[in-house]
């Protein structure tokens, strides 16, 4: 909202500078975003008249003008403007003048002809081209023919004004008008509010004329006022009105349109003027549009309407989209002789939806959206009629229709002074509270319980006692509210266990050379075919989207690692063959009789190719054993103990002989394995891929305290190798677990370093060799102590697996 300082002072007699006014308004809750001092860079620009125009002797696109500014001396000015004619009154920048942008006018020669000044466009005077008449938006500014000569242009066209640009909150629709802002200023400075004259004296005979207004939907249209004006003369509006409209950011068009815009800016009530002769049977019908009903709007665009839009019609069809834009067929033109003024109240939600759906946003719709004053419709129509009559542009008929099916019901709210004290921590006396609210045009009566406050129609946003307390606070001055420390229990912010675990995992994998990725939770159902899942697989039961952006993203994922395969595929096509990626995200499974799916937090990782090795720069294949080592280190990092890897043969998309379930104690938390060759081919991956996918919530349930660093041992350890012969079907992990259980805390590490099957071992049996490390924190171990530990281990292995020491 743009507020003209000069215009504002017509409603409130204030004498404070604009900067102080802006500060006081902002402190009162009506934020001033910017202050624009119009014409501050402009000087020595006067009104002048073109006496004669001659062709330039040396240039086809230039003309030589003889201009007078009212004195004895005539000025010769060369211009390239095409919209000037002899007799036009225009702004003239004389030699020495300054214009917007720091331009200084000097005496010059253009193609050999002397030029002593410049004819000015509105843009060169700092005016917005969008507020200029179309024929002057990019040409010389043409002033009314009766404009006196030699007058400083700044005062004539409003460049001696200051514009306050307001940034209003959605609830303050009442401040989208000059009177609304003046009402605030009046209350802030405790000055009288001077309301514009609206009394109308009908002078036109309406005999034989009629107007009928039917409102079919009183919920969307609570009031409709129609006023008839006759003997209309369409012409340019007066200079003072054009000046004010430009200050408000509105382009002057003609006197009828300008008056409707002027009243809208002044009172906040949008108006519309219909050509009375074009309304069939002089009958206005306010109704909902029919589905796919069409109409031609003022911008000559054919609009398709829907049943949730409100339209103004006559018996032949729509003549306007209510509150948004008028119709082309009923437009006021230079031939119009009678007009019907519309001043109505339309439902804010309906106008907002209509404006959005049609892609039409106007000054009118912006005001209807925030809610206007239902009680002000008739006054706005009268104000417009009076202005047109005073300008000699129309005669007012005594024919007015005011269809008011849902009148304004006054709201009265009890305001308790003790509640004001409690909320604001201010001891404001009750009489002062009443005086502050009275200054805001609220009606206040004293009651035994406090104050009974009647809410005026221009403040539909006030509905609760706390709203009134806010009004008291902002007018009293929020800067006068004492500073106090908040009282209450304060809880320091911290991550919960799940968040700490998630961060620990991310840091561990990122530090180990893995790249974290974030893939789409929406996938193509075809991914399950690529994984060669059974038709009845539970993983094919997905949550389908009602409005998918495309078929490629039509269902919610039930597995996390296919997204990683897409990442590997995209990298491989760009010649990036080596990759290690991970993602911590969610998968979604539908639940019977439940609207929302089951969301499972999941951790997945995938590797392919090789990675640079250690000190000798050799490469390390990122295969099953590499990723298993990463997973083991990760589980150890987060405090998971007693982990086993059990072979499985039916994991989705994985190699049946190179896949294992990850089991912690009695809980299966995930799976690890090589990608099935058929799936690898389906994803067009040239190198083998290994993945693991772990249920994060299950992992959090078995994880313990994160691994902590401790001092290096002071005493040396003792290493022994142990080779045992067992059946081929016994996993090495089971033997490792028995070794740990049989030994005491002196056993620090067990590492499998050899697996042998061959001639020196019986058929159906295998030799497994382990490296064992024993160490104590407080002493050097003796051979006798270590031997006793070995005996316990071998005895346990013999009893459990019938294992024998390999000789």
CATH number at residue 309: 3.50.40.10
Enter the tokens of residue 440.
């805001």
Domain annotation covers residue 488:
no
Torsion angles phi and psi, residue 93, rounded to 5: -95, 110
pLDDT digits (tens, 9 = 90+) for 554-570: 999 999 999 999 999 99
Q: Mark the binding-site residues, compressed into ranges.
A: 461, 467, 470-471
- Output the pLDDT for position 706: 64
Rounded to an integer, the average pLDDT of 748-766 is 91
Q: How far is CA 475 from the centre of its chain?
A: 31
Domain annotation covers residue 594:
yes
93 and 125 within one domain: yes
686 and 604 within one domain: yes
Name the domain boundary from 657, 676, 702. Answer: 702
509 and 465 within one domain: no
Domain annotation covers residue 194:
no
Q: Provide the mean pLDDT of the chain.
A: 91
d(CA 367, CA 177): 9
Give me the CATH number covering residue 640: 3.30.930.10
Give me the CATH number covering residue 789: 3.30.70.380
779 and 801 within one domain: yes
428 and 297 within one domain: no
Domain annotation covers residue 486:
no
179 and 74 within one domain: no
Rounded to an integer, the average pLDDT of 259-278 is 95
pLDDT digits (tens, 9 = 90+) for 152-172: 998 888 888 999 999 999 899
In the beta sheet, which residues pair with residue 690?
Answer: 607, 674
Could you list the beta-strand ranges (E) of 614-653. 619-621, 643-647
Enter the tokens of residue 63.
């003309």
290 and 379 within one domain: yes
What is the enclosing helix (H) or strand (E) of 602?
strand 598-608
- Output the pLDDT for position 27: 92
In the beta sheet, which residues pair with residue 611?
Answer: 620
Statement: residue 112 has pLDDT above 60: yes
Domain annotation covers residue 710:
no
- Output the pLDDT for position 644: 86
122 and 17 within one domain: no
Give me the CATH number covering residue 175: 3.30.56.10
d(CA 118, CA 91): 9
- Output the pLDDT for position 612: 67
Rounded to an integer, the average pLDDT of 751-770 is 91
Domain annotation covers residue 198:
no
Domain annotation covers residue 667:
yes
Closest CA relative to residue 103, chosen from 180, 58, 57, 44: 44
696 and 733 within one domain: no
pLDDT digits (tens, 9 = 90+) for 611-666: 865 444 567 889 999 999 999 999 988 988 788 888 998 899 999 989 999 998 88
pLDDT digits (tens, 9 = 90+) for 773-807: 999 989 999 999 999 999 999 999 999 999 999 87
Burial class from Cβ neighbours inside 10 Å (0-12, 13-18, 19+) for residue 637 reads: middle
Rounded to an integer, the average pLDDT of 739-745 is 91
Domain count, the chain: 6
- Output the pLDDT for position 614: 45
Name the domain boundary from 378, 403, 428. Answer: 403
560 and 599 within one domain: yes
State the pLDDT confidence band at 135, using cuts at 50, 70 and 90: confident
Q: Mark the binding-site residues for Mg(2+), compressed into ranges.
A: 461, 467, 470-471
597 with 588: CB under 8 angstroms? yes
- Output the pLDDT for position 807: 74
Give me the CATH number covering residue 57: 2.40.50.140
Domain annotation covers residue 673:
yes
- Output the pLDDT for position 485: 79
Cβ partners under 8 Å of residue 194, min gap 6? 10, 11, 12, 13
Closest CA relative to residue 579, chosen from 627, 530, 617, 532: 627
Closest CA relative to residue 421, chosen from 370, 339, 476: 476
The 3-state secondary structure of 371-440 reads: CCCHHHHHHHHHHHHHHHHHCCCCEEEEEEEEECCCCCCCEEEEECHHHHHHHHCCCCCHHHHHHHHHHC
Which has the minimum average pLDDT: 40-44, 418-422, 517-521, 710-714? Answer: 710-714
602 and 504 within one domain: yes
Q: What percent of the chain has pLDDT over 70?
A: 99
Q: In sequence order, which ranges of 88-200 are alpha helices (DSSP H)?
A: 153-156, 178-189
Across 178-216, b (16+ Cβ under 10 Å) vs e yields bbbbbbbbbbbeebebeebebebebebebeeeebebebe
> Residue 348's domain spans which residues?
212-403
d(CA 364, CA 132): 20
Name the domain boundary from 348, 373, 403. Answer: 403
* Number of Cα atoms under 13 Å in the Cβ half of residue 343: 29
Q: What percent of the chain has pLDDT over 90?
A: 71
* Number of Cα atoms under 13 Å in the Cβ half of residue 597: 17
d(CA 614, CA 626): 14
What is the 8-class DSSP label of residue 108? E
Q: If you average pLDDT over each of 440-444, 481-485, 616-620, 701-705, which comes out highest?
A: 440-444
58 and 26 within one domain: no
């Amino acid at each position: 909202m743009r507020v003209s300082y000069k215009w504002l002072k017509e409603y409130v007699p204030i004498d404070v500078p604009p900067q102080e006014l802006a500060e006081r308004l902002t402190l009162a809750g009506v934020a001033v975003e910017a202050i624009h001092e119009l014409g501050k860079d402009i000087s020595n620009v006067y009104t002048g008249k073109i006496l004669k125009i001659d062709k330039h002797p040396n240039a086809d696109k230039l003309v030589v003008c003889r201009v007078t500014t009212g004195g004895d001396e005539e000025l010769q000015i060369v211009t390239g403007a095409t919209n000037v004619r002899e007799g036009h009154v225009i702004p003239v920048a004389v030699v020495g003048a300054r214009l917007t942008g720091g331009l200084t006018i000097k005496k010059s020669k253009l193609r050999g002809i002397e030029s002593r000044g410049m004819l000015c466009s509105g843009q060169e005077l700092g005016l917005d081209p969008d507020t200029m008449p179309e024929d002057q938006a990019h040409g010389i500014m043409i002033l009314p023919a009766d404009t006196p000569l030699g007058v400083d242009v700044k005062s004539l066209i409003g460049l001696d004004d200051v514009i306050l640009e307001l940034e209003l909150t959605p609830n303050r629709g009442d401040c989208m008008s000059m009177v609304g802002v003046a009402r605030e200023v009046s209350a802030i400075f405790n000055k009288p509010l001077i309301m514009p004259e609206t009394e109308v004296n009908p002078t036109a005979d309406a005999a034989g004329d009629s107007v009928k207004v039917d409102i079919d939907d009183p919920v969307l249209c609570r009031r409709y006022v129609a006023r008839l004006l006759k003997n209309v003369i369409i012409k340019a509006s007066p200079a003072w009105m054009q000046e004010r409209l430009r200050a408000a950011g509105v382009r002057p068009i003609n006197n009828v349109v300008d008056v409707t815009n002027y009243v809208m800016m002044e009172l906040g009530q949008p108006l519309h003027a219909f050509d009375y002769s074009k309304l069939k049977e002089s009958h206005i019908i306010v109704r909902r549009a029919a589905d796919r009903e069409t109409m031609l709007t003022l911008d000559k665009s054919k609009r398709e309407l829907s049943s949730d839009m409100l339209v103004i019609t006559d018996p032949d069809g729509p003549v306007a989209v209510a509150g948004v834009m008028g119709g082309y067929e009923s437009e006021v033109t230079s031939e119009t002789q009678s007009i019907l003024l519309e001043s109505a109240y339309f439902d804010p939600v309906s106008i907002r939806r209509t404006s959005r759906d049609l892609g039409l946003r106007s000054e009118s719709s912006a005001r209807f959206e925030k809610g206007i004053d239902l009680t002000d419709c008739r006054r706005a129509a009268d104000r417009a009629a009076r202005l047109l009559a005073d300008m000699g542009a129309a005669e007012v008929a005594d024919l007015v229709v005011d269809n008011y099916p849902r009148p304004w019901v006054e709201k009265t709210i009890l305001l308790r002074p003790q509640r004001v004290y409690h909320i604001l921590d201010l001891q404001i006396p009750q009489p002062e509270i009443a005086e502050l609210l009275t200054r805001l045009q609220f009606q206040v009566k004293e009651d035994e319980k406090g104050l009974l406050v009647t809410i005026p129609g221009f403040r539909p946003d006030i509905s609760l006692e706390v709203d009134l307390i806010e009004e008291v606070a902002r007018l009293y001055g929020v800067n006068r509210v004492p500073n106090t420390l908040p009282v209450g229990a304060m809880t320091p912010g911290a991550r919960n266990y799940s968040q700490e675990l998630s961060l620990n995992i991310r840091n561990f994998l990122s530090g180990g050379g893995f790249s974290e990725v974030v893939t789409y939770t929406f996938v193509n159902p075809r991914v399950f075919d690529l994984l060669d899942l059974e038709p009845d697989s539970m993983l094919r039961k997905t949550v389908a989207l009602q409005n998918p952006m495309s078929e490629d993203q039509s269902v919610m994922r039930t597995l996390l690692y296919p997204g990683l395969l897409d990442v590997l595929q995209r990298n491989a096509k760009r010649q990036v063959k080596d990759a290690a990626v991970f993602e911590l995200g969610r998968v979604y499974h539908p639940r019977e009789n439940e609207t929302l799916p089951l969301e499972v937090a999941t951790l997945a990782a995938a590797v392919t190719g090789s990675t640079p090795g250690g000190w000798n720069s050799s490469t390390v294949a990122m295969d099953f054993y590499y990723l298993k080592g990463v997973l083991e280190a990760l589980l150890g990092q987060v405090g998971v103990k007693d982990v086993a890897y059990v072979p499985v043969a039916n994991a989705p998309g994985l190699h049946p002989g190179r896949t294992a379930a990850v089991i912690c104690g009695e809980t299966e938390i995930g799976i690890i394995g090589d990608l099935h060759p058929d799936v690898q081919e389906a994803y067009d991956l040239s190198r083998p891929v290994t993945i693991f996918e772990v249920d994060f919530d299950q992992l959090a349930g078995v994880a313990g305290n994160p691994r902590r660093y401790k001092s290096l041992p002071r005493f040396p350890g003792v290493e022994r190798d142990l080779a045992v012969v067992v059946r081929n079907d016994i996993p090495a992990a089971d033997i490792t677990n028995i070794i740990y259980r049989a030994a005491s805390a002196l056993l620090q590490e067990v590492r499998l370093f050899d697996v042998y099957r061959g001639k020196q071992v019986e058929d159906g049996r295998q030799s497994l060799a382990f490296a064992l490390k024993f160490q104590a924190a407080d002493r050097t171990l003796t051979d006798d102590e270590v031997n006793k530990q070995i005996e316990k281990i071998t005895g346990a292995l013999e009893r459990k697996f019938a294992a024998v020491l390999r000789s």
